[in-house]
Amino acid sequence: MSIVDLRNGLDRDELGQELYGLIAELYPICRSITGEGLRQTLRTIQQYVPLAIHEVPSGTQVFDWTVPREWNIRDASIKNAAGERVVDFQRSNLHVVNYSVPVRRRCSLAELREHLYSLPDHPDWIPYRTSYYHEAWGFCLTHNQLLALKEEEYEVWIDSSLEDGHLTYGELYLPGEQEDEVLISCHACHPSMCNDNLSGVALAALLARHLVSMPLTYSYRFLFIPGTIGSITWLSLNEAQTSRILHGLVLSCLGDPGSMTYKRSRRGTADIDRAAAHVLAHSGMDHQVLDFVPFGYDERQYCSPGFNLPVGCLMRTPHGRYPQYHTSADNLDLIQPDSLADSFLTCLSILSILEDNKTYLSQNPKCEPQLGKRGLYRTMGGIADADRFERAMLWLLNLADGDHTLLDIAERSGLSFDALRTAANVLCQHELLDGRPKPARPMAQN
């Protein structure tokens, strides 16, 4: 079975439910860029695939960065004068600024306010804030909660720890025929948020589970990492192997009801960029393809000038473009099983192009071969137009000169990669085409 067979065989409803279910399971965990929440998330994924869990000690130098101390949290609250928990970590782990240092103290409302974050435009949502690299503490709360606070004395309590420990990440390597790799990367460092974070985690996990038992042309590497510091750490520890990465995708924000978005790699015309653009263009759905910008997710690091890897980012609505982004409203109501399934199938379509993007050589390059005597062409002449299958065969035979990959032919002909792959297989069976893997290491482009 190949990736295209997998894609064609999946039940979309079942797939959506499965992805949604995994997200629901991971949703309550309070993740951060280090700590137990992240470990627990990776252990959950280990139920699906044999993920290796790596622990990198605090203080490790990774390029210009240092692996931070490990942060863990057990509980937190703001109590009013009556002793009521008016802000309660147990109700939402977003209530605490992520990486808050421990605190226990009484303070006035004025003093407290300097540590409070809310969203006046969305008075029922809790914002998500972090302070990884600057020691601080704070609480996030709904704006309505903030407005309800009276002038009285409060007791703030954050039962956290920030101590030497480890940065944790998960890695799964699936060897294929070739050593050249496809990198699939997702960040798993956000607390209870579904679209940003868990949708990518769930897609990567279930994708890995499917691929683990399949014959693959490329080798695949899945990374479940904390954002930014995780990709920097992995790149620092695996620098020598990065040249094997021929194609890569960062997965994020893949469950919302918006249309698909692909953000190109820094190279702009890498195979992954062209494959993703092709799939979206032939999806029959609204979509957008964006040029690379050096902000966003971990593609920032993969595409830094010292690496310049061909890694793009697959999303639905891009980060920051939907109002629920980085708030408590990025919850199980925002994401849709059908959107998740559509994202998953889109991802498979892209990977199937990478896997099957061969270069074909016509065995009859001089004039067309006679398709009719092989039963590949209508016998009755005079009809105005060739049908789609005939057109696919004619395009293949015309461009199978050893210089054009299947994706090149798809782009030039306007036909779908799928239609051309089917026709190519038939022509190979009739020994009219000889398909060879695309030369593995295209020259680096800038």
In the complex, least distance from residue 413 CB atom to a second copy, rounded to whole angstroms: 8
- Rounded distance, CA 40 to CA 406, Å? 43
Q: Is 320 in the site for a second copy (CB under 8 A)?
A: yes
- Rounded distance, CA 186 to CA 191, Å? 14
- Choosing from 12, 40, 46, 65, the residue that interacts with a second copy (CB under 8 A) is 65
Q: Is 383 in the site for a second copy (CB under 8 A)?
A: yes
Mask 408-427, x = binds a second copy (CB under 8 A)?
A: -----x--------------
Q: Which is nearer to a second copy, 48 or 307 (CB)?
A: 307
Q: Is 370 in the site for a second copy (CB under 8 A)?
A: yes
Q: Is 118 in the site for a second copy (CB under 8 A)?
A: no
Which tokens go with 272?
């992954």
Give Cα separations from 247 to 13, 232, 303, 355, 356 (angstroms).
29, 18, 12, 11, 13
- Rounded distance, CA 254 to CA 330, Å? 12
Q: Is 403 in the site for a second copy (CB under 8 A)?
A: yes
**Amino acid (1-letter code) at residue 167:** L
Q: Burial letters for 341-354: b for 16+ Cβ neighbours within 10 Å, e otherwise?
A: bbbbbbbbbbbbbb
- Rounded distance, CA 184 to CA 182, Å? 7
- Rounded distance, CA 347 to CA 332, Å? 22
Q: Is 265 left (phi over 0), alpha (psi -120 to 50) or beta?
A: beta
In the complex, least distance from residue 271 CB atom to a second copy, rounded to whole angstroms: 19
Give Cα separations from 125 to 118, 261, 331, 372, 408 (angstroms).
8, 26, 11, 66, 47
In the complex, least distance from residue 397 CB atom to a second copy, rounded to whole angstroms: 7
CB 346 within 8 A of CB 251: no
In the complex, least distance from residue 126 CB atom to a second copy, rounded to whole angstroms: 11
Q: Is 226 in the site for a second copy (CB under 8 A)?
A: no
Q: Which is nearer to a second copy, 303 or 350 (CB)?
A: 303
Mask 132-171, x = binds a second copy (CB under 8 A)?
A: xxx-x-----------------------------------
Q: Is 444 in the site for a second copy (CB under 8 A)?
A: no
Q: Is 368 in the site for a second copy (CB under 8 A)?
A: yes
**Amino acid (1-letter code) at residue 126:** I
Q: Is 365 in the site for a second copy (CB under 8 A)?
A: yes
Q: Is 389 in the site for a second copy (CB under 8 A)?
A: no
Which stretches of the chain bind a second copy, using CB under 8 A? 62-65, 98, 127-134, 136, 228, 231-232, 235-236, 239, 266, 293-295, 300-301, 303-308, 319-320, 325-326, 362, 364-370, 372-373, 379-386, 390-391, 394-395, 397-401, 403, 413, 446
